[in-house]
Every structure is written in C-alpha cells, then in structure tokens.
Amino acid sequence: MNVIQVPKAMYLAAFPQMAVSLARCVLPTVLIAVVALFGMGDMSSRADTAETRRLMHQLQKTRLDNLIRHQPELAALLSGVGSGALNADVTDDRGVLHFSSGVDAPLWARASGRWDDNGKRKVKYGFGAMGLHTYVTPTLVVGGMIEADYLSQAGAQSDRAGGGVMAGSYFLARHANQPLFVEGRLLRGRASHSIRGSGDGALWPDTRRGLAQLKLTGQLRYGVTTLTPSFLASYATDDVLPRGSDPLGVQGIQQRQMQLGLEFRHTLREANGAPIILTGGGAFSRTSTRRFGHDALALPGQRSGSGRVSLGIRFSTQAGGSIAIDSFWGGLGTYAPENYGLKAGYDIRF
C-alpha cells in the first residue's frame, strides 16, 4: 500500500486558505440562523403587542357605544309621565333585564342587563345608574349621579372584560309653556379591564373615562300642528393609564356622536268633518371614532352617517274605515346605496 506524504511546509501553507473557505461557508449560515431566531422572536412579540392593542381598542369602542346608548332618560323627572317598572325575559342561553324606579321622588335608579351564549361566544353586559336632584325652580332641576357598567366578551380566540364607575352632575329644564325638555350631564370616572388573546399572557389595563352629553326631547304644539324636535350630542373619551413597561403604552379613543331630527303632525278636516292627518319629518345622524397613541394608523378612525326623510297621510272614510299611506327615503349622505319605499294600509272595524 502506497502512502502519499504531504510535506509539512505545504500543509501549513494550505491551512489558512482552508480556514478562510470554511469561514465563508459556515459563518453566513450561522449568522442567518441567529438573526432568524432572534428576529422571529421579536416579530412574534410585536405581533402579540399589536393584537393586544387591537383587542383593547375593540373593547374600548364597544364599551363607549353601550355607555352612550344606555344613558338614563331624565325628561320623565319633570314631565311626571312614567312609573316604576321591572321587566325580565330569560331563557336557557340568553336574557334581558330592565328596572326603573318611580319619577315622583328626588332619588331615582335605573338598571339594565343582558347576556347571550350561542355556544361559541358569551357576552354579558350590565349598566346601572342612580341620581339625586333638587328643584331650583318648578321647571329646572340639578343633581348628581353615579353610574357603573360591566362588559364581558368570551370567545375561542380571546377573552375581554371591563368594568368601571363614573360620577358627575346633570341638569334638566322644561319649557315654561310647552312639553319640551333639555337635559345635560358631565361625568368622569375610571375603569379596569382584562384582556387575554390567543397567547398565554394577559393584561389588566386601567383607563380614565369621560362623557359629556346634551339632549333635547319633547313637543311643540301650535293648534292643529305638533312639532317633535330631537337633538343629541355626545362626546366620550377612554384613555389607557400607562404603568411602567405596559405594552399598550399611550392609547386612547375619542367618540363624537350627533343626532338631529324633526317630525310634524298636521290635522286637516274635510267638508264632512272627517280628519285628514299629514305626518312626516327628517332625521340625520353622524358618528366619528378617533384612536390615538401607538399603532394609531393601523386602526384608523371611523366615520358614519345617515339621513332619512318621510311623508305620510291618514284619513277616515264615511264607511268607518281608515287609510294610511307612508313613504320614506333613507340612506341620504352615506356611501351605502339609498333606499326608499311606499306603504299603504286600510283598516275597518265592524
């Protein structure tokens, strides 16, 4: 067996070249693996943080929507129309509950709740308010109120819940000669939340909330004509309170809502004395939601609005029947297709 011997000098001369070649082949692979390992971890962290912020934004918006929608009506405190009531509709997987105290006492309370479980998603919501006022004049009351609300949304991918308390002042005024009411409130408070996404971690952020609202309801009566104006303007905020290294950081949401409407009812008379009643009106609403803080561009603001007009006529026949014709035109001022319709009905009793 022949053995080829390589001179030691030649071996030492070739070793640096072999080392350089090995480094050129192995080091890039190692660097790519290290960068991919740490880079994927950082990307996963950023993805988890973005998902948490998205879930928090959705929870904040849902709670503000419900907070504005469930604000107690105050006009009954001066109109005297209304009484205490308790209504409940409960089944195996859902339920609705409403409670209201009487309107003839300075201390009043309102409460409502609902829950729904369709097997894939569980939603629970509760709202309660209590107030105490004093009569400055027979047509003006001022007072203070406290509100509490709770929302829980549990699904396969995430669990979200939040509860909070708000307190502030309110006023209610009535027109001296007409059943027309103006009410306003200014509330401030805090809330606590729990957010658990698809990962194992959970966050418990706290927020600072505020609500300002002005509302007009009632009627203006001028002989055979009755006007029913309505106006609602709301401004609500919900800001996350940062705590140390909280990944949510500075994050908040602002929501503005405006509703404006006017309906009329005008009574005419035929020659035989049968009345003809003209009805109609219009309404316009607009809502804008703005998010600020981290990743604000990832969840841009939302705007929506709609308008609707209607016109109808009702009159009675000599045979004892009544005819009603109503028409409407909706979807005005929105990107959605407009819609319109006409409805006619005849009623006779014998």
In a domain, 348, yes or no: no
Domain count, the chain: 1
Instruction: Give 97: exposed, middle or buried? Use CB within 10 Å, 0-12, 13-18, 19+.
Output: middle
**Is residue 26 scored above 80 in pLDDT?**
no
Characterize 144-182 residue by residue with b for buried, 16 or more Cβ atoms within 10 angstroms of its Cβ, and e for exposed. ebebbbbbbbeeeebbbbbebebebebbbbbeeeeebbb
Rounded mean pLDDT, 50-73 = 86
Closest CA to 128 of 143, 144, 108: 108
What is residue 251's predicted lDDT score, i.e. its pLDDT? 76
Higher pLDDT, 320 or 59: 59
Residue span of the structural domain in which 102 resides: 10-252
Assigned domain for 202 exists: yes
5: pLDDT strictly greater than 70: no
Give 336's pLDDT tier (boundaries 50, 70, 90). Answer: low
Would residue 258 count as lying in a domain? no
* Residue 204: band (very low, low, confident or very high) from pLDDT cuts 50, 70, 90: confident
pLDDT, residue 20, reads: 47
Q: Does 74 fall in a domain? A: yes
pLDDT, one tens digit per residue, over 153-188 is 887 777 889 999 999 999 999 998 999 999 999 999
Which of residues 276 and 270 earns the better pLDDT score? 276
Does residue 269 sit within a domain? no
The torsion of the CA quartet 46, 49, 51, 54, rounded to 10 degrees, works out to: -130
Single-letter code of the amino acid located at 103: V
Q: Is the pLDDT of residue 33 over 80?
A: no
Share of the chain above pLDDT 90, in %: 45
Binned at pLDDT 50, 70 and 90, residue 40 comes out as: very low
Is 293 part of any domain? no
With contact defined as beta carbons under 8 Å apart, do 84 and 107 qualify? no
Q: Record the pTM.
A: 0.76
159, part of any domain: yes
In this predicted structure, what is the pLDDT of residue 83? 75
Q: Please tell me the number of Cα atoms within 13 Å of 29 on its side-chain side.
A: 5
| Cα 44 to Cα 198: distance, rounded to the nearest angstrom | 12
Q: How many residues does the chain have?
A: 350
Report which DSSP code applies to 105. S
Most trustworthy range by pLDDT among 143-147, 191-195, 202-206, 319-323: 143-147
Each residue's pLDDT tens digit, 77-125: 888 777 788 998 888 888 999 999 988 889 999 999 999 988 788 999 9
Token pair listed for 332: 């005005």
Nearest 5°: the CA angle 179, 185, 186 is 165
Q: Which residues pair with 86 in a beta bridge?
A: 99
Residue 140 lies in a domain: yes
Q: Given pLDDT bands bounded at 50, 70 and 90, which one contains residue 310? A: very high
Query: Any idea which residue has 């948490």 for tokens?
Result: 52
